[in-house]
Homo-oligomer: A and B are copies of this chain.
Amino acid sequence: MNHKHLAEPTVSTEKIFEGKIISLYVDTVTLPNGKQATREIVHHPGAVAVLALTEKDRVILVRQFRKPCDRTLVEIPAGKLEPGEDPAECAKRELLEETGYTAKEWRHLHSMYTSPGFADEKIHLYLAKGLTKGQQELDADEFLDLMEADMAEAERLLASGEIADAKTMVALYWWMKERAKAEK
């Protein structure tokens, strides 16, 4: 189904800013009622995130400072796509760089828009199992603390708000749902 009765075709587009990571546009669109409106749109290259589970069913996490939130957050490993990069390759690269882990089994779980009201950022979420620990390969300007948590500890981090980003919640609730189903 096209759902054309909801579409907002573009009348004109104005580029406001092009940065190192994001760019910003203001589009004028035609609404379904024929009126015009503006839409503020952030373009982002897209990213990957990895739910990496150890043999003991523990999740690999990283703590990072997130300037927009002015605090540290505990998140699953993640990173931006390089131009033209395949998301599955990016997931392997980011897991290795941020955590030192490589994984034997990879599975694409979902691709998700994080803020569809104002941004096109799409995160490709992967499950990684069969982990082998090697050396982190952080960028010179990347700083993070590596962590590991079992499900009870992950629940505590969710309840305390130390885990408070949407992609990590999607991954952890998926994991908890799968475990609860398996235990039925």
Give the B-binding residues of A (Cβ under 8 A).
Answer: 3, 5-8, 16-17, 19-22, 24, 26-27, 29, 31-33, 35, 37-42, 44, 47, 63-69, 72-73, 75, 80, 110-121, 123, 140-141, 143-145, 158, 161, 164-167, 169-170, 173-174, 176-177, 180-181, 183-184
For A79, the closest partner residue in chain B by CB is B117
For A112, the closest partner residue in chain B by CB is B166
CB-CB < 8 A to A166: which residues of B?
A: 112-115, 123, 166-167, 169-170
For A167, the closest partner residue in chain B by CB is B166
Instruction: For the complex of A and B, list the 5 residue pairs with the smallest distance between their C-beta atoms, beginning with the closest.
Output: A173-B173, A180-B180, A166-B166, A66-B116, A177-B177
> Chain B CB within 10 Å — which of A110, A118, A121 has the most?
A118
Q: Is the CB of A67 within 8 A of B44?
A: no
Q: Write the nearest CB–CB distance from A84 to chain B, whole angstroms.
A: 20
